[in-house]
Amino acid sequence: MLNIPEDVHQSYLRLKSELNQHNHAYYVLDDPSIPDSHYDRLMGELQAIEQQYSQLRTPDSPSQRVGGMALDSFSQVRHEVPMLSLDNAFSDEEMIDFDRRIKDRINLDSSQNLIYACEPKLDGVAVSLIYQKGMLVRGATRGDGSIGEDITANVRTIKSIPLSLHGDIFPELLEVRGEIYMPRDGFNHFNKKALESGDKPFVNPRNAAAGSLRQLDSKITATRPLEMCAYSVGQYQGDQKPDSHFAMLNMLGTLGFKINQHIKQVEGIEALEEYYQQLAKLRDELDYDIDGIVYKVNDFKLQQRLGFVAKAPRWAIARKFPAQEEMTRLLDVEFQVGRTGAVTPVARLEPVFVGGVTVGNATLHNADEINRLGVCIGDTVIVRRAGDVIPQIVKAVVEKRPEGAQPIVFPERCPVCQSSVKRIEGEAVARCTGGLFCGAQTKEAIKHYASRKAMDIDGLGDKLVDALVDNDLIYSVADLYELKLEKLINLERMAQKSAENLLNSIETSKQTTLPKFLFSLGIREVGEATAQTLANNFGTLDKVIAASAEQLLEVEDVGPIVARHIVDFFRNPDNLSIVEAIRNSGVQWKDIDQTAQSLPLKGQTWVLTGTLAVMSRAEAKDRLQQFGAKVAGSVSAKTHAVVAGPGAGSKLNKAQALDIQILTEESLIAFLENL
Ligand code: IVH
């Protein structure tokens, strides 16, 4: 073994502590302190030293999170303090009973209030982590509550779990309990990748977390985006044991664990109901699944007096939310045709209450998805609705398949215009080849054209577009400008006043901008940002129309596929005559002067965060883009500036850490005025 020079030893300790701090900031506090590249460099330096002086490499080194040798099986471990489960409550009445039972048992007058800790009930896998003298020595699943499985190698790969406790003061022996879960983003990303590579996706984030922890090869677990939140303590040997649940959670936070952001200490039963309402509203926005709330009597002495019944404590209860997965029946599958001709199978379901709303439809994505699920019409299916994602069918319950269940046949002809449906090699979607001849594509194109971010024709909603097309009043967007009052008022449910309003807003919408107009045309893959870049680069519509694929490719962010779609669109004589007719009807915009001077923010990426009070976010984005800036959703080392309004959080913190210029809304307005 080589002797370690003192300066190397010192740098090693410094690197280790720095990496642990950055790790904690990133994975526990969600508040990155340095760019990823910087972190990777520090890790490289640490690994180089460990390679030369292997005796330095301790089990809690940040380099030791990549997983080790695969196991043959998991060994069993005993929980010295049993891991209990919770009783459930599904209504306010059951909550009132819970509160009353406790008060009766401890002889508390019903008018007096108890203090409760309220926490989201995370939908993952329970885990026990044992720290001896501050070092993580064992991680285990709950199992049956008394005997679990040893998953130490796997938990060590989870970055929000400290390999050693932070600080110098900690109990001799500490068993931390919590939930390991996969955040929704990570889950969606993982499933997308799995589908792309032909692997089986996970049904939901809880299964994904459980499946990832059940890997005998911890190197696989290391690649899964798992997190852990601490919510209680099992064994504890040491001084100064906190005297309440809340104080204990605070202590766990100080020792380096992730504690849920939404925990709250409240007094009295009414506050529990209030917390339920607040969290129910937040549920869809969270980036992880929760299936309810856990309420716990805060005081440990009271907890001890209350004790347990069977396998659940008397001092805690889980108030459940409506489930995010339910069983129902697949009644039929309809095929919808979108703006670009994509034919999407939509499942018609027996209505079912799931994730807080009644769901009657779910997407089946495409033919591959139907095959993968192996689902038939008439099947019992499991529907999942979580967050703001559209409801999905995650599984067909094949055991319950009724006799006469019908296989789903993907149509060869468009259900709207009967043109053939084709699927391009390598693409998942099948498309109707009817183009604007297809009524469905026409309707969707008009809806898009009229939408707020496009031509913004107030009052021209989806239903009205359907009625206009179905009654043969319009065949393309250009016909909007030919609409006459007499014809409009003949439409069902169309009063004189609304007809006049519609014509007025069509008139008003004629004053637009080049990027908005380009976006309105609904060219495939040309979203708002691409339309803006095209406008900035070419300046006039005629130049965009005339651009060759090569010229388009020179534009930043325009790849070969987008370039192809743009060229195809403007080579189509029908499209060109529609554009011409629109222009002749008086739709106009200012061309963009392309001298460098007019695009002073070209090449810069800006980020908007927090609330903007004077301008709307959309307006600020428009203005910045008009000057050539790109507006991105997340902060990175490449960000030029961040505009932060009240309520700005992690993006602002990251910008500060990366030393990026930060502007208030006020200074942005002044800045734009001076450009
Ligand atoms: S406390 C005796 N707190 O729910 C107390 N559990 O049905 C036991 N869970 O197995 C657990 N979030 O996996 C507690 N904030 C939270 C929780 C939580 C999720 C899970 C846990 C447990 C199950 C109980």
- The pLDDT tens digits of the residues spanning 103-153 come to 999 999 989 999 999 999 999 999 999 999 999 999 999 999 999 999 999
First vs last C-alpha separation in the chain: 64
For residue 620 and ligand 1, the question of a CB distance below 6 A is answered with no
Residue 260 CA: which ligand 1 atom is closest?
Answer: 15
Report which of 62, 93, 244 is spatially closest to residue 163, judged by C-alpha positions. 62
Known catalytic residue at 651: no
List, in sequence order, the alpha helices (H) in 126-268. Answer: 152-155, 184-196, 205-213, 218-222, 245-254
CA of 154 to the centre of ligand 1 (A): 20
Residue 291 CA: which ligand 1 atom is closest?
Answer: 19
- Lowest-pLDDT choice from 63-77, 537-551, 591-605: 591-605
Phi, psi of 493, rounded to the nearest 5 degrees: 60, 25
- Whole-number average pLDDT of the chain: 92
Helix axes 439-450, 462-470, angle to 10 degrees: 140
Residue pair 291/355 in contact by the 8 Å Cβ criterion: no
Q: How far is CA 395 from CA 130, 226, 284, 367, 398, in A?
A: 37, 23, 22, 15, 9
CA of 121 to the centre of ligand 1 (A): 6
- The pLDDT tens digits of the residues spanning 543-581 come to 999 999 999 999 877 999 999 999 999 998 888 999 999
DSSP code for 481:
G
Q: Residue 650 above 90 pLDDT?
A: no
Ligand 1 probe mutation, 81, 90, 175, 179, most atoms within 8 A of CB:
179
Give the residue carrying structure tokens 């280790």.
16
Angle made by CA atoms 9, 10, 14, in degrees to the nearest 5: 120
Arithmetic mean of pLDDT, 476-485: 94
Element (H, E) at 9: helix 6-23
Q: Residue 599 above 90 pLDDT?
A: no
CA of 457 to the centre of ligand 1 (A): 51
SS3 label, residue 443: helix
Q: What percent of the chain has pLDDT over 70?
A: 99
Ligand 1 probe mutation, 122, 246, 288, most atoms within 8 A of CB:
122
Tokens of 519: 């976006």
The active-site residue, picked from 121, 395, 516, 654, is 121
Residue 124 CA: which ligand 1 atom is closest?
Answer: 13
Q: How far apart are CA 661 and CA 655, in angstroms?
A: 7
Q: How far apart are CA 661 and CA 524, in angstroms?
A: 35
For residue 440 and ligand 1, the question of a CB distance below 6 A is answered with no
pLDDT at 382: 96
pLDDT band at 633 (very low <50, low <70, confident <90, very high): confident
For residue 126 and ligand 1, the question of a CB distance below 6 A is answered with yes
For residue 232 and ligand 1, the question of a CB distance below 6 A is answered with yes
Give the residue carrying structure tokens 């963009």.
592
Across-strand partners of 349?
330
CA of 649 to the centre of ligand 1 (A): 28
Residue count (the chain): 675
Residues 6+ apart with CB under 8 A from 84: 145, 308, 311, 312, 313
pLDDT at 427: 83
Q: Residue 502 above 70 pLDDT?
A: yes
Residue nearest to atom 16 of ligand 1 (CA): 121
CA of 590 to the centre of ligand 1 (A): 60
Burial class (CB in 10 A: 0-12, 13-18, 19+), 23: buried
For residue 85 and ligand 1, the question of a CB distance below 6 A is answered with yes
- Lowest-pLDDT choice from 291-295, 313-317, 490-494: 490-494
- The pLDDT tens digits of the residues spanning 436-461 come to 789 999 999 999 999 999 999 999 99
Q: Residue 79 above 70 pLDDT?
A: yes
Tokens of 627: 């000057």
Q: Residue 67 above 80 pLDDT?
A: yes
For residue 229 and ligand 1, the question of a CB distance below 6 A is answered with no
Tokens of 222: 């290391």
For residue 179 and ligand 1, the question of a CB distance below 6 A is answered with yes
Sequence letter at residue 304? Q
pLDDT at 598: 66
Arithmetic mean of pLDDT, 495-520: 95
Residue pair 141/149 in contact by the 8 Å Cβ criterion: yes
Q: How far apart are CA 417 and CA 433, in angstroms?
A: 9
Ligand 1 probe mutation, 79, 84, 86, most atoms within 8 A of CB:
86
Residue nearest to atom 12 of ligand 1 (CA): 121
pLDDT at 233: 97
pLDDT at 128: 98
CA of 85 to the centre of ligand 1 (A): 7
Q: Look up the pTM and report it.
A: 0.73
Residue 119 CA: which ligand 1 atom is closest?
Answer: 15
Ligand 1 probe mutation, 206, 231, 249, 265, most atoms within 8 A of CB:
231
Angle made by CA atoms 287, 290, 293, in degrees to the nearest 5: 130
Q: What percent of the chain has pLDDT over 90?
A: 77
pLDDT band at 30 (very low <50, low <70, confident <90, very high): confident
Q: How far apart are CA 555 and CA 559, in angstroms?
A: 8
pLDDT band at 626 (very low <50, low <70, confident <90, very high): confident
Tokens of 388: 């703001």
Q: How far apart are CA 308 and CA 496, in angstroms?
A: 71
Tokens of 82: 């049993």
Domains along the chain with CATH numbers: 6-65 (1.10.287.610), 94-320 (3.30.470.30), 325-422 (2.40.50.140), 435-508 (1.10.150.20), 514-584 (1.10.150.20), 605-673 (3.40.50.10190)
Report which of 191, 215, 176, 235 is spatially closest to residue 67, judged by C-alpha positions. 215
- The pLDDT tens digits of the residues spanning 173-206 come to 999 999 999 999 999 999 989 888 878 899 999 9
pLDDT band at 587 (very low <50, low <70, confident <90, very high): very high
Residues 6+ apart with CB under 8 A from 199: 193
Ligand 1 probe mutation, 116, 119, 121, 296, most atoms within 8 A of CB:
121
Arithmetic mean of pLDDT, 387-416: 93
Residue 120 CA: which ligand 1 atom is closest?
Answer: 15
Q: How far apart are CA 19 and CA 567, in angstroms?
A: 50
CA of 86 to the centre of ligand 1 (A): 7
pLDDT at 596: 57
- The pLDDT tens digits of the residues spanning 516-535 come to 999 999 998 999 989 999 99
- The pLDDT tens digits of the residues spanning 139-173 come to 999 999 999 999 999 999 999 999 999 999 999 99
CA of 174 to the centre of ligand 1 (A): 18
For the chain, state the CA radius of gyration: 30
For residue 122 and ligand 1, the question of a CB distance below 6 A is answered with yes
Residue pair 448/454 in contact by the 8 Å Cβ criterion: yes
Give the residue carrying structure tokens 């299916």.
381
Q: How far is CA 662 from CA 167, 184, 421, 654, 668, in A?
A: 33, 30, 51, 11, 10
Residue nearest to atom 18 of ligand 1 (CA): 121
Burial class (CB in 10 A: 0-12, 13-18, 19+), 363: middle
List, in sequence order, the alpha helices (H) in 283-420. Answer: 300-306, 367-373
pLDDT at 595: 64
Residue pair 122/286 in contact by the 8 Å Cβ criterion: no
Tokens of 151: 């998953």
CA of 120 to the centre of ligand 1 (A): 9
Report which of 61, 117, 414 is spatially closest to residue 244, judged by C-alpha positions. 117
Residue nearest to atom 3 of ligand 1 (CA): 231
SS3 label, residue 620: helix
Report which of 189, 210, 207 is spatially closest to residue 143, judged by C-alpha positions. 210
Residue 88 CA: which ligand 1 atom is closest?
Answer: 7
Q: What are the DSSP calls for 391-413, one per residue? A: PEEEEE-GGGPPTTPEEP---SB
For residue 121 and ligand 1, the question of a CB distance below 6 A is answered with yes
Give the residue carrying structure tokens 């108030």.
319
CA of 96 to the centre of ligand 1 (A): 20
Q: How far apart are CA 368 and CA 383, in angstroms?
A: 18
pLDDT at 664: 93
β-strand pairing of 342-354 with 325-337? antiparallel
For residue 128 and ligand 1, the question of a CB distance below 6 A is answered with no
Give the residue carrying structure tokens 């520090």.
42
For residue 318 and ligand 1, the question of a CB distance below 6 A is answered with yes
Across-strand partners of 588?
511
Tokens of 201: 């996706």
Residues 6+ apart with CB under 8 A from 490: none
- The pLDDT tens digits of the residues spanning 34-46 come to 878 889 899 999 9
Arithmetic mean of pLDDT, 344-359: 94
